[in-house]
Structure 1
Amino acid sequence: MISSSSLMERAPLLAWVVLILILGVCFGSPNPNHRLVCWKAIFKCHAEPECHYAYDQYLYACASVLSGERRKCPSHCISSLIQLNLTRSGPALEDCDCAADPRCRSTKQAIEPCVPRTSTMGCTEARLQCGLDPACSSAMKDYLFHCRKLFGGQMCTESCRRTIADMHSIPKAQQLDTCVCDGAERNICEYIKVSMRTLCFGEGSGFADSEEDAEDVYFDPGDYPNVENACASGPTPPAVMP
């Protein structure tokens, strides 16, 4: 794992040129003639607390991809790119002109697998479609009952694992497997996804996808405040699968 100090030492050489080109090229821009120079865009982002925080999260979450240590993109890296793009100064980062910097070009190739696919269904829509399907709706009720301890990050019971396995055989429930957390319940959704990968699909559970996928888990409880209370008394927790 790359330490925070080591990562920040490399930031001046790599970070802004890397991120800006990738977002600018891969997300696209409807107005290429009005793009900011990248160094101006990055300073604009640093001046906005939300953007600055999202930018730092991007550096940490995508460090292994940016350094070339791995080619497969961790899910938390994809999420960090999405969150950065949703900040007020995010569009400027998308549009900025990195000119002919060769470092930007090489890093674009490295980070390309992490660029969010716009065709992916959001979890809000996936859950609505599941609710309209009798088989999926019934499975979701079982999931909410048997996996309730998962929502608080406590444990994943055997009955919860069996319920999740059953949902994989239902077409509408399979959409919950690939959906992207969105909407008002995004933080809760992301928390549950991480809890599920950690508690239900970890080594020895019999459900892990692969050793490499297990390394993709990145979880900072501070990013998801009061999730347990929200799951217990707020809106119905999103039914999601890793």
Structure 2
Amino acid sequence: MERVLLLICCELIIAIGFSGGSPNHKHRPACWKAILKCHGEPDCRYAYDQYIHACAPVISGVRKICPSHCISSLIQLNLTRNGPDLEDCDCAMDPVCRSTQQAIDPCVPRTRAMGCTEARLQCETDPACSSAMRDYLFHCRKLFGGQRCSEGCRKVIANMRSIPKALQLDACVCDGSDRNICEYIKLSMRTLCSESSDGGSGFSDTMEDTDDDDIYQDDYYYISDVRVQTLLLVKLLLKLWKVCICFG
């Protein structure tokens, strides 16, 4: 009889373990303990403060959609030694803790989303992806300025979505010092390159792009390294920001 009861208890423990959280956690730490432990680690405490600031609108309920920098801060927090415990900690009966977990849950990357910096570095090492990236930087330059998404740019983007390493660039989370620029480019792609948006100004691609192609093509092909092109693009966009745009 005791053996039967023991087996039943073991099955219940296993069932609770599978339904209660991540398989990587043998038990769920109390959230207040996880926070104290995080604050004892400088990197975790800094990442936690960044998360509180970046995700404040989501936690308070002001915003339902997660900003990219909120998702990025969660990724950075999870990269610290004690950060992962916060993702799957036990709130017990604390209502504030529970509401915070419920609000922030949609923002937590389920697949440990890759940062765009890492995605770009991986793309550079892949011949097909790096070649597609060079085409993208050349044919989509009007997109970077927020002007239009040409037919040539659309074709390049479609081609990139057939390349595994390039797909990471589409799904990655903007991070690092170039996060704002990255978010602006992603926003331009969503608004200008979607099927329903107006892809141009009424002129054909050849009429609009020919003069620019003559000017830039010679210089473009002298620059074969993707990273150099990216740095040039960053400098260009920073100049555009200072002149005409302020991004939040």
* TM-score tier (shorter): 0.5 to 0.7
Distance in 2 (CA, whole Å) between partners of 1:30 and 1:49 is 23
Identity of aligned residues (%): 51
Q: Tell me the amino acid that sits aligned with residue 177 of structure 1.
A: D
Match of 1:62 among 52, 55, 61: 55
Q: Which residue of 2 aligns with 1:168?
A: 157
CA distance in 1, matches of 2:53, 2:158: 35
Larger relative contact order (CA 8 Å, sep ≥ 6):
1
How far, CA to CA, are the matches of 1:235 and 1:138 in structure 2?
A: 12
1:147/1:156 contact within 8 Å kept = no
Asked whether 1:71 is paired with 2:64, we answer yes
- Correspondence for 2:145 among 156, 166, 186: 156
* Deviations, residues 168-189 of structure 1 (Å, cap 9, x unaligned): 32222444211346xxxx6266
Judged with a 3 Å threshold, the aligned counterparts in structure 2 of structure 1 residues 80 and 92 are, in CA distance, closer, same or farther, namely same
Q: Which residue of 2 aligns with 1:113?
A: 106
Q: Is the counterpart of residue 32 in structure 1 residue 32 in structure 2?
A: no
**Counterpart in 1 of 2:79?**
86
How many equivalent pairs are there?
Answer: 177
Contact kept? 1:147, 1:157, Cα under 8 Å? no
CA distance 1:190–1:149, change in 2 (3 Å): farther
Q: Quote the Cα distance in structure 1 between the aligned partners of 2:97 and 2:108.
A: 15
Distance in 1 between the 2:226 and 2:154 partners?
26
Query: What SS does the aligned partner of 1:169 have?
Result: helix
Q: Does 1:196 align with 2:163?
A: no
Equivalent residues in 2 for 1:7-22 (5 A)?
none
Q: Which amino acid aligns with 1:168?
A: I
- 1:187 matched to 2:187? The reply is no
Task: Name the CA distance, whole Å, in 1 between partners of 2:58 and 2:146.
Answer: 33
Q: What TM-score comes out, normalization by structure 2 length?
A: 0.53
- Separation in structure 2 between the aligned mates of residue 129 and residue 234 of structure 1, nearest angstrom: 7
Report the CA distance shift for 1:139/1:235 in structure 2 as closer, same or farther (over 3 A): closer
**Could you say what the CA RMSD is over the residues aligned between the two structures, in angstroms?**
4.2
Match of 1:47 among 35, 40, 45: 40
Question: Does the CA contact (< 8 Å) of 1:28 and 1:94 recur in 2?
Answer: no
| Greater C-alpha radius of gyration | 2
Whether the aligned pair in 2 keeps the contact of 1:29 and 1:94 (CA below 8 Å) is: no
Which amino acid in 2 is paired with 1:30? H
Do the aligned partners of residues 85 and 169 (structure 1) sit closer, same or farther apart at CA in structure 2, a change above 3 Å counting?
same
**Which blocks of at least 5 consecutive residues in structure 1 are unaligned?**
1-24, 210-232
TM superposition shift of 1:86: 0.8
2:139–2:153 CA contact under 8 A, matched in 1 = no
Q: In the aligned structure 2, how far is the partner of 1:62 from the partner of 1:26?
A: 22
Q: 2:72, 2:134 → 1: CA distance?
A: 27
Q: Does 1:177 align with 2:166?
A: no
Contact 1:65 / 1:71 at 8 angstroms: preserved in 2? yes
Tell me the equivalent position of 2:96.
103
Residues 1:26 and 1:61: Cα distance change in structure 2 (over 3 Å)? farther
SS at match of 2:158: coil
